[in-house]
Amino acid sequence: MKILVVGSGGREHAICWALAKSKRVTKIYCAPGNAGIAQIAQNVDIAVSHFDELIAFAKNVAIDLTICPMDDPLVAGIVDAFMSAGLLIFGPTKAAAEIEGSKVYSKDFMRRYNIPTAEYGAFDTFNAAMAYCATAKFPLVVKVDGLAAGKGVIICQNIESAEHALKDIFESKKFGVSGEQVIVEEYLDGAECSVLAFCDGKTIIPMPGAKDHKAAYDHDMGPNTGGMGVVVPNPYYKEDIAKECMERIFLPTVEGLRKDGREFVGVLFFGLMLTESGPKVLEYNCRPGDPETQALLPLLETDLVDVIMACLDRNLDNMEIVWKNNAICCVMLASGGYPGDYETGMPIWGMNDVGKDALIFHSGTKKDGDKFVTAGGRVLCVLVSAENLETARASAYDSVRKVSFQDMHFRKDIGDLGAIIPN
């Protein structure tokens, strides 16, 4: 099969890497890709938002299957566009992707189907949101309705910070149309867990639980990022909790989406808070997470193409998905200054010196002559899988120490159980 992957980050690199292992795949294209991806796939210089060009390319080279793991194109309807053109694509339709594209829809969805989540109100004016905050308990969380590149969630300790956040949204219109409505919700305490699940519209098969580390600095300090590292399995996501999630969250979600006429085919991502009163949904994403996907795919033993085709054939209930019984630790190497401003173009040293057990996925790199240089905030992920987390972690950091670029920044406590105690 010829496969086209849409995107350019570490998640897409990990997907191309898993596809390269498949017996069914003869050629991989990635649009637009990055310098790491170019080692195993052919990059195609088309932007992810240019659906017509992507479709024309897919027809021209007779692509058999397109995979889109990115939120923006999914929410904008890339799957509908490909399907209308008669092309096979893996991902949810625009209607199903609204589970991530609109927080108001997703919160109302959870309320209607009795899926555990934080208490909330939905508002479309500053005054109405402020009136709710005036009687609410702090801390509370303000979330813009639409996509906001991970910046649309503001944790407010007091009424002044809530007022500030709501002014940014409704008066300064900092988030544009994404901020036309807001959710104001209860702050949840607990351990966070990312669960990604394959879905064929009716059957859902969750992957092992992952622990993302979103804050920029050690001990969960500093601003939120796209993710500074992941470990799998998530040590807090025990078997009994996974069972409860299946019954109270995963199955009702897939069933609810079907009842809403928004059958979900793709990878559905549950951002969970494991609270004292049980697991609750913080958010849904309509696609596999990054860096979670980078940590999960090296553990997948079943051919990824077989799993995707089972989803597309609505045949997931006949599929057995096998995972290595290993732990994995994945450490993100970021540019100095990320998630704020940072410089790019720094030469990267030492990638060939990492341990034989280490994998490197590229998030933001390009080639300058024959050298790799930095080209993004998140630059590289170094991953090691081993029979337990402690070994995986020690070995991952041994390899991290071999790699360098100017102003390189990474967290030193990824997978350190002491540092990921519930908030």
CB-CB neighbours of 346 under 10 Å: 20
Q: Out of ligand AMP, ligand GLY, none, which partner does residue 148 contact, by CB within 5 to 8 A per kind?
A: none
Query: Is residue 100 at the binding interface for ligand GLY, with CB under 6 A as the rule?
Result: no
Q: Out of ligand GLY, ligand AMP, none, which partner does residue 290 contact, by CB within 5 to 8 A per kind?
A: ligand GLY
Query: Is residue 419 at the binding interface for ligand AMP, with CB under 6 A as the rule?
Result: no
Q: Out of ligand AMP, ligand GLY, none, which partner does residue 118 contact, by CB within 5 to 8 A per kind?
A: ligand AMP
Please count the residues of this chain forming the interface with ligand AMP, following the rule CB under 6 A: 13
- Cβ-proximal residue to ligand GLY, closest one: 289
Q: Out of ligand AMP, ligand GLY, none, which partner does residue 337 contact, by CB within 5 to 8 A per kind?
A: none
Q: Beta strand pairing status for 278-285 and 371-374?
A: unpaired
Task: Please report the beta strands in 178-228, taking only residues with DSSP state E, as ranges in sequence order.
Answer: 182-186, 191-200, 204-206, 211-212, 215-217, 221-224
Q: What is the rounded distance in angstroms from the CA atom of residue 410 to the CA atom of residue 378?
A: 10
Q: Out of ligand AMP, ligand GLY, none, which partner does residue 283 contact, by CB within 5 to 8 A per kind?
A: ligand AMP
**Contact pick of 12, 192, 263, 290 for ligand AMP (by CB under 6 A):** 192
3-class DSSP state for residue 340? Answer: coil
Provide the mask over 292-331, with x wherever binding to ligand GLY is found by CB under 6 A and - wherever it is not.
Answer: x---------------------------------------
Question: Whose Cβ is closer to ligand GLY: residue 12's or residue 212's?
Answer: 212
Minimum distance of ligand GLY from residue 124's CB (angstroms): 25
Minimum distance of ligand AMP from residue 223's CB (angstroms): 11
Question: Whose Cβ is closer to ligand GLY: residue 170's or residue 192's?
Answer: 192
Cis peptide before 339 (omega within 30 of 0): yes
Q: What is the rounded distance in angstroms from the CA atom of residue 300 to the CA atom of residue 109?
A: 31
Q: Beta strand pairing status for 27-32 and 42-43?
A: parallel
3-class DSSP state for residue 92? Answer: coil
Query: Is residue 214 at the binding interface for ligand AMP, with CB under 6 A as the rule?
Result: yes
Q: What is the rounded distance in angstroms from the CA atom of residue 35 to the CA atom of residue 41?
A: 10
Question: Whose Cβ is closer to ligand GLY: residue 71's or residue 416's?
Answer: 71
Q: What is the rounded distance in angstroms from the CA atom of residue 361 to the CA atom of residue 50?
A: 25
Name the residue among 351, 355, 353, 350 with its Cα closest to residue 395: 355
Provide the mask over 182-221, with x wherever binding to ligand GLY is found by CB under 6 A and - wherever it is not.
Answer: ------------------------------x---------
Q: Phi and psi (nearest 5°) for 81? A: -65, -45
Query: Is residue 289 at the binding interface for ligand GLY, with CB under 6 A as the rule?
Result: yes
Query: Is residue 287 at the binding interface for ligand AMP, with CB under 6 A as the rule?
Result: no
Q: What is the rounded distance in angstroms from the CA atom of residue 386 to the CA atom of residue 140?
A: 39
Minimum distance of ligand AMP from residue 61's CB (angstroms): 36
The answer to whether the CB of 88 falls within 8 A of the CB of 312 is yes
Question: Whose Cβ is closer to ligand GLY: residue 211's or residue 409's?
Answer: 211
Minimum distance of ligand AMP from residue 313's CB (angstroms): 31
Q: Phi and psi (nearest 5°) for 311? A: -65, -45
Query: Is residue 283 at the binding interface for ligand AMP, with CB under 6 A as the rule?
Result: yes
The answer to whether the CB of 413 falls within 8 A of the CB of 393 is no
Q: What is the rounded distance in angstroms from the CA atom of residue 65 to the CA atom of residue 5?
A: 9
Q: What is the rounded distance in angstroms from the CA atom of residue 348 to the CA atom of residue 325?
A: 33
The one-letter code for the residue type at 264 is: F
User: Which window, 115-123, 174-182, 199-207, 283-291, contacts ligand GLY (CB under 6 A)?
Assistant: 283-291
Q: Residue 199 forms beta bridges with which residues?
A: 204, 266
User: Which window, 35-43, 287-295, 391-399, 413-421, contacts ligand GLY (CB under 6 A)?
Assistant: 287-295
- Residues in Cβ contact with 356 at an 8 Å cutoff, skipping those fewer than 6 apart: none
Q: Which residues bind ligand AMP (CB under 6 A)?
A: 118, 141, 150, 153, 185, 187-188, 192, 214, 224, 271, 282-283
Q: Which residues bind ligand GLY (CB under 6 A)?
A: 212, 227, 285, 289-290, 292
